[in-house]
Amino acid sequence: MTYIALAAAVVLIGIDQLTKWLAVKFIMPEGTVNLISINDKEWLNLTYQQNTGAAFSILKDKQLFLIILTSIVILGVIILMLTKRIKKTSYIWCFSLIISGGIGNLIDRIANGYVVDFIDVRIIKFAVFNFADICAVTGTILLVFFYILEEVKSSGEKKKKALAEGNTDKNETEIQDIDPNSDTEEKDEAQKTNFPIKAEIRKKEEKQKDNEQA
């Protein structure tokens, strides 16, 4: 899965570079090309812009810093992916998007000293951006989403496990409290009540181990 995700990142980088080449060839001479207008109001334009900052024009004129930072982060993520440190499929694809966006803009910074932006959303006051920005931001948002989802799920499972263990302890105490001289049927009934709970705990522990190995 890792190599497929990295191959997909290469494809996305190619798409990013192609869209930027088209922007330079066709949009730069015009300056701005309107795509969508509603009631004489521009909603979406293609506007050629040279961005000397990071995504959405932040950290303007910090090219050397951005090149070094982006290179370190991308190299680190690729190493983690190739060494199988990142195992979850959802995380792998999120990092694939982040890598493609980072490398797409890194190529521009190294080759030109600026990043070509061209997607101009006019319905809100927003910076002009490009395809690489979309990949990087989408990957980051999904990564945060999946992490939170995993934490919520893990927390719920821990609570269920704690509750089941609490019930087990209670039932074991009840078994121990039974008079040794009491009727054998009473002991057997208490043990039967406790057995399904133990079996459920073992089943959940085995399932959790399988998920961790996956």
Indicate which residue of 16, 108, 117, 120 is catalytic: 117
| Active site annotation includes 177 | no
Single out the catalytic residue among 40, 133, 179, 183. Answer: 133
Closest CA to 55 of 142, 123, 140: 140
Within 8 A by CB and 6+ apart from 179, the residues are none
Query: Residue-wise pLDDT tens for the chain (214 aa)?
Result: 899 999 999 999 999 999 999 999 999 998 899 989 888 888 999 999 998 876 555 666 677 888 898 999 999 999 999 998 888 999 999 999 999 999 999 999 999 989 999 999 988 888 899 999 999 999 999 999 999 999 998 887 777 777 777 666 565 565 555 555 555 555 455 555 555 555 666 666 676 666 666 5
133 catalytic? Reply is yes
Phi (first) and psi of residue 28, to 5 degrees: -55, -45
Pull the structure tokens for residue 15.
Answer: 């798409």
